[in-house]
Structure 1
Amino acid sequence: MSVEAALCAARVRYGSLEALHGVDLAVPGAHLTVLLGRNGSGRTTVLRALAGTVPLSSGRVVWGGTDVTRVPAHARARRGLALVADRGAVFGSLSVGEQLELAAPDGTPGPALDAYPQLRALLGRRAGTLSGGEQRMLAVARALVGAARLLLLDEPTQGMSPAVAARTHGLLGDLAAAGRTVLVAEQALPPALCRAATVAYVLRRGAVAFSGEPAESARFAGAGPASPSGR
């Protein structure tokens, strides 16, 4: 498998606290990768480092074979990277319909509404008035219809019902099967992601505790105390 993006000996600091301790992580192209770990393990920081929203204190970020460590987040987004953050992932003042139209290259939100029919009744609503689960559906729907080839999603199903969460994980697997690269951060590995994922990483206290087959990751995920510096 070719590598689409990677962290190489990546370290990230928040003030005096180090959140990532020399993390090596490779995301294979056109596959779904899962990043597991408890709150405080460093999952969010890994995604932010890849997206460029937090700087590395040392190490490198490589994307498409090019060192992009010093490339700012907005430039990475223009090159085809999309980050669905764990919070603040939608524009509260814009309507659901406006956001889907802006995200879709052709301005047509049809595929997003097929994925999440619940959004049809909300097209005229401002995103800031939606529930947490509805906002997550909108955030993931924008990523689905967008043109980004590298998708980073931080707990995309939080606030969703179990049925909608399962459908979301299935949709992310479909994206990878269609040739896009997907990295999903979750606290635990649900069955749909276990079936769809090619590689799993488990973070513990800002370091990689496991990398390999998703089915083998369960005995490593969630073990040990969380780091006060990691996210």
Structure 2
Amino acid sequence: MTVELALERARVRYGPVEALHGVGLAVPSARVTVLLGRNGAGRTTALRALAGTVPLSSGRVVWGGADVTRVPAHARARRGMAFVPDSRAVFGSLTVTENLELAGPLPAALPYEALGRLLPRTAATLSGGEQRMLAVARALLSPARVLLLDEPTQGMSPATAARTYALLREAVTDGGRTVLLAEQRLTAELCGTAAVVHELRRGTVAFSGEPRERGSPAGPVGPAGRSA
């Protein structure tokens, strides 16, 4: 597989605390990659490092074979990267329509049918799941070829979460886009979606490989990177 995006020996510090300890992980092109980890494991920091919203204290971010470590987040966005953070992912003072139009002209068919009923609403008045739906839709409607999403289905109903994973699969199979999403658990549905799984524990990589190599969806990972 061709590598689209990678962290190489990446270290990130928040003051005296080091959140990533020399992390190396690769995101293959035109595939869905899942970054697993419990809260505090470093997965959100890894996504932010790839997006350019937190700086590395050492190591590199490589995109398309080029070192983009010092390229700021807004410049990465212009080059074709969309980042959906785990919070504050929408502009609360704008309507749903205005949020979506930041990605481009509003299409006739929206990624989520429910958004059509919400278009006049101010984003701040939406529920948490509706805001996640809006944030994911805006990323999908953008021209970005690389999508980074931190817990995209948080707060969604099971049916909407299933729709989200289907949309991300379509972004890869139909659009040739590269998708990296962070989740706390590897569900059965994600096992059928992901080509590659990386699991972080305490700021280090505990496992990298195919979902089937990891074992059961909710199973723990042993020290050698296999299911314990």
TM-score interval, smaller chain = over 0.9
CA contact (8 A) 2:191 2:217 kept: no
For 2:186, the equivalent position in structure 1 comes to 189
Q: CA deviation at 1:217?
A: 2.6
CA–CA distance in 1 between the matches of 2:72 and 2:113? 35
Cα-Cα RMSD? 1.5
CA contact (8 A) 1:150 1:180 kept: yes
CA–CA distance in 2 between the matches of 1:9 and 1:52? 16
Q: Say if 1:189 and 1:110 are closer, same or farther in 2 by CA, change over 3 A.
A: farther
Q: Say if 1:126 and 1:218 are closer, same or farther in 2 by CA, change over 3 A.
A: farther
Runs in 1 of length 4+ with deviation above 3 angstroms?
Answer: 218-224
CA contact (8 A) 1:38 1:221 kept: no
Structure with the greater relative contact order (CA < 8 A, sep ≥ 6): 1 or 2? Answer: 1
CA–CA distance in 2 between the matches of 1:209 and 1:221? 15
CA–CA distance in 1 between the matches of 2:22 and 2:13? 11
Equivalent residue pairs, number: 220
For 1:85, the equivalent position in structure 2 comes to 85
* SS of equivalent to 1:196: coil
Unaligned regions of 5+ residues in structure 2, if any? 222-228
Q: Say if 1:220 and 1:190 are closer, same or farther in 2 by CA, change over 3 A.
A: closer
Deviations 1:133-187 (A, max 9, x none): 0000000000111100110000000000011101111111111112000001000
Unaligned regions of 5+ residues in structure 1, if any? 225-231
Q: Say if 1:50 and 1:97 are closer, same or farther in 2 by CA, change over 3 A.
A: same
Q: Say if 1:160 and 1:68 are closer, same or farther in 2 by CA, change over 3 A.
A: same
Q: CA deviation at 1:100?
A: 1.2
TM-score normalised by L of structure 2: 0.93
Deviations 1:45-75 (A, max 9, x none): 0000000000000000000110000001110
For 1:215, the equivalent position in structure 2 comes to 212
For 2:133, the equivalent position in structure 1 comes to 137
* SS of equivalent to 1:216: helix
CA–CA distance in 2 between the matches of 1:146 and 1:177? 17
CA contact (8 A) 1:197 1:214 kept: yes
TM-score normalised by L of structure 1: 0.91
